[in-house]
Amino acid sequence: MQEGGNDKEISRIVTMNYRDVNEIIEQGEGFTVEFKRRISSPEKIARTIISFANTKGGIILFGVDDDGSIVGVESEKSEIELIEVAGKDFIDPPIMPEIDIVPFNGRDVIVCHIQESKIKPHYFLGEQDRTDGENTRVYIRVNDKTMMASKEVVKILKNENPDAPPLKVAIGDNEKRLFRYLDEHERITVREFGRLVNISDRRASRILVGLVRAGVIRIHTHEKTEYFTLAFGDIDEKII
């Protein structure tokens, strides 16, 4: 993935053939794969690109219907231009995916490769949801869907670096009560933790995010309500 200013251009690569694309289609849409019949607007594709870059990366196939049937793109040039507009004008920092064009019996499928970013989070610059703050402009991948990130996820993304060592944290009474609760109940939400130790949701969120950054607990986003679990069995091995 290329990241930078508006002078960047989409990189054209030739690494995939129709067998590779068929294999992806047979596996179906999922956490790292999405099918698009066409690009209806750069805003919509920008959200999907952001979600992959903010999560674990992925591939978008243009010219493939939801059921996996290959319809091809009408204009390879115009579709690639829309991807470029999405990456430059609707994403901050910009994302320039790598592109494959794979022919299928006279029909072209565009394969858009998005790598996991090292400068998370990426923000959507289109029309904003006005119900909340900056997290309404950040998207992540949840199962096979592009979803708006929570405040907790945005905080974690801001401090995420794949090469950084785990953060060590000091454990106080609130954290110890959290661990005891998780030993018995396995999961907890921000609100439940705040009520458990009688603190505000904001402070509860800050503590939980710090523990996620330290690798002590995990955040789970695949359900309607996010929750946290212990990351390992022996809590004493990871804390000071």
Q: Which of 117, 149, 181 is the last residue of a domain?
A: 149
* pLDDT average, residue stretch 180-208: 93
Looking up tokens 């950084």 gives 164
Q: Which of 107, 122, 149 is the endpoint of a domain?
A: 149
Residues spanned by the domain of 201: 165-237
Q: Model confidence over 6-59: pLDDT tens digits? A: 345 555 555 788 889 999 999 999 999 999 998 888 999 999 999 999 999 999
In a shared domain, residues 143 and 170:
no
Residues 129 and 39 in one domain: yes
Higher model confidence: residue 126 or residue 140? 140
Q: Are residues 104 and 138 in the same domain?
A: yes
Residue 57 sits in the same domain as residue 176: no
Q: Is residue 2 part of a domain?
A: no
Whether 220 and 136 map to the same domain: the answer is no
- Answer with the residue of higher pLDDT: 219 or 1: 219
Question: Is 186 part of a structural domain of the chain?
Answer: yes
Asked whether 93 and 122 are in contact (CB, 8 A), the reply is yes
Same structural domain, 190 and 88? no
Residue 48 lies in a domain: yes
Give yes or no: residues 112 and 191 share one domain.
no
pLDDT category of residue 232 using cuts at 50, 70 and 90: confident
Most confident of 113-117, 136-140, 213-217, 234-238: 113-117
63: domain CATH number is 3.30.950.30
Residue 141 located in a structural domain:
yes
Shared domain for 134 and 197, answered yes or no, is no
Confidence band of 239 (pLDDT split at 50, 70, 90)? very low
Q: What is the pTM of this model?
A: 0.76
Residue 6 lies inside a defined structural domain of this protein? no
Structure tokens at 232: 């390992």
Residue owning tokens 């523990």:
211
* Angle CA 36–41–44, to nearest 5: 65
Which among 184, 216, 178 is positioned nearest to 198, based on CA atoms? 178
Instruction: Write the CATH number for 223.
Output: 1.10.10.10
* Distance of alpha carbon 13 from the chain centroid: 23
Of residues 157 and 53, more confidently modeled: 53
Residue 9 confidence (pLDDT): 56
- Given a cut of 50, is residue 136 above it in pLDDT? yes
In a domain, 180, yes or no: yes
Among the candidates 149, 178, 212, a domain finishes at 149
Q: At residue 237, does pLDDT exceed 50?
A: no
Average pLDDT over residues 207-235: 81
Does residue 113 lie within any of the structural domains?
Answer: yes
Same-domain pairing of 81 and 121: yes
Examine the domain organization and report whether 225 and 184 are in the same domain: yes
Say what the pLDDT of residue 170 is.
Answer: 78
2-6, 95-99, 123-127: which has the minimum mean pLDDT?
2-6
Tally the domains of the chain: 2
Instruction: Assess if residue 159 is contained within a domain.
Output: no
Sheet holding 58-62, edge to edge: 11-12, 98-104, 107-114, 58-62, 33-36
